[in-house]
Amino acid sequence: MSDQKIKGPASYFPSIEKKYGQPISHWLGVVEGQMPARHMELVAHLKSEHGLGHGHANAIVGHYLAGKR
């Protein structure tokens, strides 16, 4: 087992899954379905259409756009 702490957007993933009841793969699929779009457009979509908070939406979008799908 690794003792490395998860950093960056992925550090939010456990709380996102717990709070919104969907796996991260679901949210990455939602983002993919909105492409092509700009970062803040994607964040706004997750917030307005799915009720995510700004930090959680930003973490998902940042992770997706970094190519870590």
How high is the pLDDT of residue 4?
75
Report the C-alpha gap between 40 and 59 in whole angstroms. Answer: 11
Q: How confident is the model at residue 3 (pLDDT cuts 50, 70, 90)?
A: low
Report the C-alpha gap between 18 and 1 in whole angstroms. Answer: 23
Each domain of the chain, given as residue ranges in start order, spans 10-65
Residue 12 contacts residue 56 (beta carbons within 8 Å): yes
Instruction: Between 9 and 3, name the one with better pLDDT.
Output: 9
How high is the pLDDT of residue 68?
61
Of the listed ranges 21-25, 42-46, 49-53, 63-67, the one predicted with least confidence:
63-67
The pTM score is 0.88
How high is the pLDDT of residue 7?
84
